[in-house]
Amino acid sequence: MRRAASFRGFYAGTVSPDPSLVRCHVVTGKGGTGKTTVAAALSLALAADGGSVLLIETEGRQGIAQLFDTPPLPYEERRVAVARGGGEVKALAIDVEEALLDYLDMFYNLRRAGRALRKMGAIDFATSIAPGLRDVLITGKIKEAVTRRHDGRPVYDAVVVDAPPTGRITRFLGVTAEMAQLARSGPIKTQSDGVMAVLRSPQTAVHLVTLLEDMPVQETADAMAELTAAQLPIGSVVVNMAAEPILPVDGLEQAAAGRLTGTDLSPALTAAHLPGGDGLADALAAEVVEHAQRWAAQDALRDDVEKLGRPTVELPHLTGSMDLGCLFELAGRLEEHLRDEVERADRGVSIGARNERGAERPAAASGDVA
Helical residues (DSSP H) of the chain, grouped into ranges = 35-47, 63-67, 96-108, 111-120, 122-129, 131-147, 169-182, 187-199, 214-229, 249-256, 262-271, 277-307, 324-369
Task: Count the domains in the chain.
Answer: 1
pTM of structure = 0.80
> What does the pLDDT read at residue 167?
93
Cα dist. 72→37, 61, 80, 101, 312 in Å?
16, 9, 11, 21, 32
Amino acid at residue number 215:
M
The count of other CB atoms within 10 Å of the CB of residue 330 is 24
What is the rounded CA–CA span in Å between residue 111 and residue 319? Answer: 48
308 in any annotated domain: yes
267, with CB counted inside 10 A (0-12, 13-18, 19+), is exposed
Which of 197, 185, 207 is CA-nearest to residue 341? 207
Which has more pLDDT, 288 or 102? 288
Give the domain CATH number at 62: 3.40.50.300
187 in any annotated domain: yes
* Residue pLDDT, tens place only, 287-333: 888 888 888 888 889 999 999 999 999 999 888 889 999 999 999 99
Nearest 5°: CA angle at 305, between 303 and 306?
65
298: number of CA atoms within 13 Å, CB side? Answer: 24
270 in any annotated domain: no
47 in any annotated domain: yes
Amino acid at residue number 266:
S
> What does the pLDDT read at residue 63?
93
pLDDT at position 17 over 80: no
Q: Worst-scoring range by mean pLDDT, 99-103, 112-116, 137-141?
A: 112-116
Which of 115, 122, 68 is CA-nearest to residue 92? 68
3 in any annotated domain: no
Structural domain boundaries enclosing 62: 24-244+302-346
What is the rounded CA–CA span in Å between residue 112 and residue 109? Answer: 8
pLDDT at position 103 over 60: yes
32 in any annotated domain: yes
147 in any annotated domain: yes
> What does the pLDDT read at residue 252?
81
Cα dist. 252→27, 219, 258, 290 in Å?
33, 29, 10, 10
What is the rounded CA–CA span in Å between residue 68 and residue 331? Answer: 13
Return all residues near 73 (Cβ < 8 A) that are at least 6 apart.
57, 62, 64, 65, 91, 92, 93
Report the percentage of the chain scoring pLDDT > 90. Answer: 48
> What does the pLDDT read at residue 2?
41
Q: Worst-scoring range by mean pLDDT, 66-70, 155-159, 209-213, 262-266?
A: 262-266
190 in any annotated domain: yes
Which of 223, 369, 221, 370 is CA-nearest to residue 307? 221
- Give the containing element (helix H, strand E) for 86: none
